[in-house]
Amino acid sequence: MHMKSKDRIVALEHNVHNNSNAAQKARSYGELSDALFAEGFVQDASIANDASMYHGGQGSCVGQELDRDSVNNKNRLEEQAEYIKNRNIFTDYPSVIQFETLSMCNARCVYCPSMKTPRRNNRMTDVYLDKLLNEIGDISRETTIAIAPHYVNEPFMDSRLIEILKRVDKQMSRVKVSLFTNGSLLYEREAKELSQIGKISAISVSLNEYEKAPYTRVTGLSFEKTIQNIKYLHGLAEKGQLKTEVYIRRVGDGSASDQEFVEFVKREFPLFIPACRRQTDWIGQIDTDSSGNALVKYPLGFIPVMGCNQWFRIHISSEGKAYVCCFDGVGKWPVADLNHMHILDFYRSKYKRMLRKDIYTRLEAPPPCNSCNIYWNED
Ligand code: SF4
């Protein structure tokens, strides 16, 4: 992009930030849309246009725009469509509560900030864990809630995990559990236990590589052991003893290995679902890709002019603190201390309500959202 055009786009993005009046904001988004379109950023232009209409009081047109542009801008517009829907559904209750009971991982994946976090090795106190589960129970009596008992850690490092899941299963009525693990500690005993817990709706195993050498280089774990564990889990599914969906995941790098990984999973574990999502920079906390090369970052102007589905979630560390989103691996952006606050009070706080109600795109949000280029629909 020519320097002059880039400067103009940056200036227009600042205008969007600085205009508090709805009509002016609509105009600023319109100008930004034109400038982005002129530079060939069709997706960004389209979404800026959506934002312009929204602030101009024509929110109902957004759906039509999404429909019109969906062929070219599928990923981003799908996410924006989901975001718009979520604004209505998750007004009073969060979509997901994610929590880390023990800040530890046995892997060393180069694209994950778990080794960098200052809370490393911290264990959530039994007192706070009990409070948290009681609060999730409160919510589940009023609405269906999804929980994810992991954050930037390996959940099976915590010997309490199975007991936590059993408690959720027995005591909570409307809860769905999604569990992420690297699979290295998911032995036969754990797999059998999981198969008995009906509230687990999805298990994701972050395998990442389908050959021994890259797997060991990237994760520092034993390929044979992890594959053996996945085989056992697959055997349970074959016998009809595991009803849960299982995803075998990879952090994608855009190379041919992404597709080869998908083919490997389909061939070796046909009952499981392969998934490959592009690596993110964890809001600036990771700067290398899986090969150790500098991670290619988007230039300014590719920051999507849209909201974020993370705003409808709560992410809780082992210290009982809420952070801005699941990508804040090192805990740079704390937004609440939940040790003395109910999670629902936090979700209904001024800060969280502002994200859900008062703004429409991340350009209007406080840092780090206003310079974040992460979005979801890229499997
Ligand atoms: S930092 Fe990015 S991914 Fe995280 S909540 Fe903000 S916009 Fe979403």
pLDDT of residue 222: 97
How remote is the CA of residue 375 from the centroid of ligand 1, in Å?
Answer: 8
Separation CA 215–CA 290 (nearest Å)? 10
Measuring CA to CA, how many Å separate 39 from each of 4, 8, 20, 35, 42? 11, 11, 26, 6, 8
Both structure tokens of 148? 């994810």
**pLDDT the model gives residue 217:** 92
Exposure string for 20-58, b = 16+ CB within 10 A, e = fewer: eeeeebbbbbbbbbebbeebebebbbbbbbbbbbbbbee
d(CA 316, CA 326): 9
Q: Whose CA is nearest to atom 1 of ligand 1?
A: 369
Q: Residue 153: CB within 6 Å of ligand 1?
A: no
Distance 76 CA to ligand 1 centre (A): 14
Report pLDDT digits (tens) over 278-312. 777 888 888 887 777 777 665 445 667 778 899 99
Pairing of strands 245-252, 200-206: parallel
CB of 355 shorter than 6 A to ligand 1: no
Most confidently modeled range among 12-26, 38-52, 329-343:
329-343
For residue range 159-197, list pLDDT tens digits in order. 999 999 999 999 998 999 999 999 999 999 999 999 999
| 202, β-bridge pairs | 178, 245
Weakest mean pLDDT among 97-111, 132-146, 270-284: 270-284
Phi, psi (degrees; rounded to nearest 5) at 313: -120, 165
pLDDT per residue over 79-125, tens digit each? 776 777 788 789 999 999 999 999 999 999 888 898 889 999 999 99
From the list 141, 196, 144, the residue with the least C-alpha distance to 175 is 144
* Structure confidence at residue 65 as a pLDDT band (50, 70, 90): very low
- Closest C-alpha to ligand 1, atom 8: 308
Residue 368 CA: nearest ligand 1 atom is 1
